[in-house]
Amino acid sequence: MIEIEHLTRRYGPRAVVNDVSLTVQRSEIVALVGTSGSGKTTLLRMINRLVEPSSGRVRIAGTDTATLPPHQLRRRIGYAIQGHGLFPHRSVAQNIATVPRLLGWDRARIDARVDELLDLFQLPPEEFRDRRPQELSGGQQQRVGVARALAARPELLLMDEPFGALDPVIRAQAQQDLRRIQRELGTTLLLVTHDMTEAMFLAHRIAVMDDGRLLQCAPARDILTRPASPLVQALAGEQARPFHLLSLSQVADLAQPGTAEGPPLAPETSLRDALAQCLWSGRDALPVAGGGVVTLAALRQAASGETGRTGAGASVKAGVPSPPASPPAPQ
């Protein structure tokens, strides 16, 4: 879907993005992570040419983006940013209709699309259509921002810290919504975040950047267990590594025969939550709904990264298309 080839952006002598190559498959979610100033946002903005590359090439569905006028390129790519950037002088419906209007859709088609998106984001159209953005809560504004980005059915969605301004509770909800909607629509998603937990939750692959270079692009489990360099290991959060690993699998992946006391866990509960329950309730095993148990010993083993390459489905989040073969990490 997106082929990024040797992309570089220089400001004076300094390369903010330095010879980055990356391929993203259709319907894949890739998270760009790294410290501030690592070049992740610049890389993202070069894809829709908000920043012009100094050298290198980006192809989207085979088309070299440099061959299109920038505004036409951007109308084909969804774009959502931190703090949403909704137009304060336009209603929610008008905001969502921005790109369809630019594309010259007719009125009826735009209205239908706006209502469809409001429904998709659980904002009842008759209640929200005519409101102004500033009359909405932060979480609602963020949803309208993403709905606007998706309005013209782009195949590719770029997001720059889309949840950065949300409080933790709303943020978790927004992440779940995004995952659900991405799965429904099959949109290819490139996401900039500095939050490793968010990247692990959402992305099929994580691209770790530092000082303008792409250090490694691989599934979360590989980033955690086989970091390409000590820097990747540090950026992935060494201390939190066992918890990150646990959050990547569900109890269904780890269930073994047996019985245990207490209320059963839903099969899609993350191992991280299961461990939390074990510790909090002081038990060594928890029952899983539909049969079986998950034991503290198994959780401990999973946290050490050992089940990563065994157990069926353990490296893939259920319901997500299996991650495409990762290209070799650049040296």
Partner 1 sequence: MIGRAALAAAALLLAAFLISPDSFAPLLEPLTRRGAPAVYTQTSLWSLTVSHLALVAGAIAASAVIAVGLGVLVTRDSGRDFLPLARMVTAVGQTFPPVAVLALAVPVLGFGDWPTLLALFLYGLLPIFENTLAGLTTLPPQVVEAARGMGMTPAQRLWRVELPLALPVILSGVRLSAVIALSTAAIGSTVAAHTLGEVIIAGLLSSNAAFVVQGGAVIATLALLIDAGFRAAESAARSRAGF
Footprint of partner 1 (CB under 8 A): 48, 50, 70-76, 79, 81-89, 98-99, 102, 132-134, 145, 148
Which is closer to partner 1, CB of 145 or CB of 305? 145
Q: Helix, strand, or coil here: 331?
A: coil
Which is closer to partner 1, CB of 135 or CB of 268? 135
Least distance in angstroms from the C-beta of 103 to partner 1: 9
3-state helix/strand/coil string of 228-254: CCHHHHHHCCCCCHHHHHHHCCEHHHH
Residues 6+ apart with CB under 8 A from 66: 49, 53, 57, 58
Least distance in angstroms from the C-beta of 56 to partner 1: 21
Burial class of 11 by CB neighbour count within 10 A (0 to 12, 13 to 18, 19+): exposed
Least distance in angstroms from the C-beta of 65 to partner 1: 13
Least distance in angstroms from the C-beta of 154 to partner 1: 10
Which is closer to partner 1, CB of 74 or CB of 244? 74
Q: What is the CA radius of gyration of the chain?
A: 21
Which is closer to partner 1, CB of 102 or CB of 289? 102
Q: Helix, strand, or coil here: 141?
A: helix
Q: What CA–CA distance (Å, rounded) separates 74 from 99?
A: 9
Question: What does the DSSP 8-state code read for residue 256?
Answer: B
Least distance in angstroms from the C-beta of 137 to partner 1: 16
Token pair for 137: 């809560």
Q: In what helix (H) or strand (E) does residue 168 lie, and over which residues does it extend?
A: helix 168-185
Which is closer to partner 1, CB of 72 or CB of 304? 72
